[in-house]
Copies of this chain bind each other. A is one copy, B any other.
Amino acid sequence: MTRRYVMEFERPLVELEAKLEELQRLDLTANPELVAEVATVAEEIEALRESTYADLSAWDRVQISRHPDRPKAQDYLAAVFTDVVELHGDRAYGDDEAIVAALATVDGHRVAVLGHRKGKNTRENIARNFGMPHPEGFRKAMRIMRLANKFGLPLVTLIDTPGAFPGIEAEERGQAWAIAESLALLSGLRVPVVAVGIGEGGSGGALAIGFGDRLIMLENAYYSVISPEACASILHKDAGKASEVATCLAMTAADLAGLGIVDEIISEPSGGAHRQPEEVFGAVRERVSSALTALAGADPNELVRSRYERLRSIGVIEEGSG
């Protein structure tokens, strides 16, 4: 049996479940006194399961968003979309596997799709750099944005990255330049753009393909200016305070809906999307399709104008006398 991946906050529950399993392996007819205990433990588990998954902290959700079994962009492409044609390359340097680009159809809508792509296992994760794009990944994304724009295809983006890769070659090839150009390009596309936060939304590398006319987030996805660990190690000089900082950063779907940044939240099965992926795929299909239907036929000038107004209105300031 493969060892199950256990998230920090699940540990008490998992330990209790292990105990129950152990008890159940015993011959209860030989140990009738245990029958009651099994029942008790089972009840405890039920209660604990409910409380464990009921009131998740920001940090708990960060862990769910990073769960190795959580559905990835390619799972959505396979399950939510049909007639998928993956497109490759930036036409200048390489094909960054940390970004997936495709033409695809969702519920009858022909669209272009961009997503961050993590792997399912170590080999895949190395090839895909754990979903952390290099500049050529963003340049591939830009190529597909221009293609979508040219042919009037709405764009659907799937956000799931710890962030743009912080490495020597990424800096050499202009990581900041690629992200900035992508932001400017995306802001001006004359086709509908629906962004969906499916997992991690790490900083500029997420944002580069991570906004549009609608921003939909899964309940346990996060979207943040900085990873809680990095923030904690800067402000507290202690990455261990990530849990505390995660709450401060207001990075959950609910927090961001409260700030007016996220439009819709898709609720997940108890414990996270990986528990019942089909349920989540169905919900994503439905919400994305609705958003596309609502945006279909919009005047391109109006789309660009309203997307601009959306962005333009974000921020809280005070106007002093100076």
A residues near B, CB below 8 A?
91-93, 135, 139, 173-174, 177-178, 181
A92 touches B93 (CB 8 A): yes
The residues of B that contact A173 with a CB separation of less than 8 Å are: 92-93
Q: Can you name 11 A-B pairs with beta carbons within 8 Å?
A: A91-B174, A91-B177, A91-B181, A92-B93, A92-B135, A92-B139, A92-B173, A92-B177, A93-B93, A93-B173, A93-B174
10 A-B pairs with least C-beta separation: A91-B177, A92-B174, A92-B92, A93-B173, A91-B174, A93-B93, A92-B173, A92-B139, A92-B135, A92-B93
Identical copies in the complex: 2
The residues of B that contact A91 with a CB separation of less than 8 Å are: 174, 177, 181
Inter-chain CA distance A174–B174, complex, in Å, is 18
Inter-chain CA distance A260–B92, complex, in Å, is 35
Closest CB-CB distance, A302 to chain B, in whole Å? Answer: 25
The residues of B that contact A177 with a CB separation of less than 8 Å are: 91-92
Q: Which residue of B lies closest to A181 (CB)?
A: B91
Closest CB-CB distance, A141 to chain B, in whole Å? Answer: 14
Closest CB-CB distance, A122 to chain B, in whole Å? Answer: 27
Q: Which residue of B lies closest to A136 (CB)?
A: B92
Q: Which residue of B lies closest to A178 (CB)?
A: B92
Closest CB-CB distance, A146 to chain B, in whole Å? Answer: 13
Closest CB-CB distance, A47 to chain B, in whole Å? Answer: 57
Q: Which residue of B lies closest to A89 (CB)?
A: B174
Q: Which residue of B lies closest to A135 (CB)?
A: B92
Point out which of A92, A135, A173 has the most chain B C-beta atoms below 10 A from its C-beta. Answer: A92
Q: Which residue of B lies closest to A90 (CB)?
A: B92
Point out which of A135, A174, A181 has the most chain B C-beta atoms below 10 A from its C-beta. Answer: A174
Closest CB-CB distance, A188 to chain B, in whole Å? Answer: 15
The residues of B that contact A178 with a CB separation of less than 8 Å are: 92
The residues of B that contact A139 with a CB separation of less than 8 Å are: 92
Closest CB-CB distance, A174 to chain B, in whole Å? Answer: 6
Closest CB-CB distance, A180 to chain B, in whole Å? Answer: 10
Told that A92-B92, A92-B139, A92-B177 touch, could you supply 11 new A-B pairs with CB distance under 8 A? A91-B174, A91-B177, A91-B181, A92-B93, A92-B135, A92-B173, A92-B174, A92-B178, A93-B93, A93-B173, A93-B174
Closest CB-CB distance, A281 to chain B, in whole Å? Answer: 36
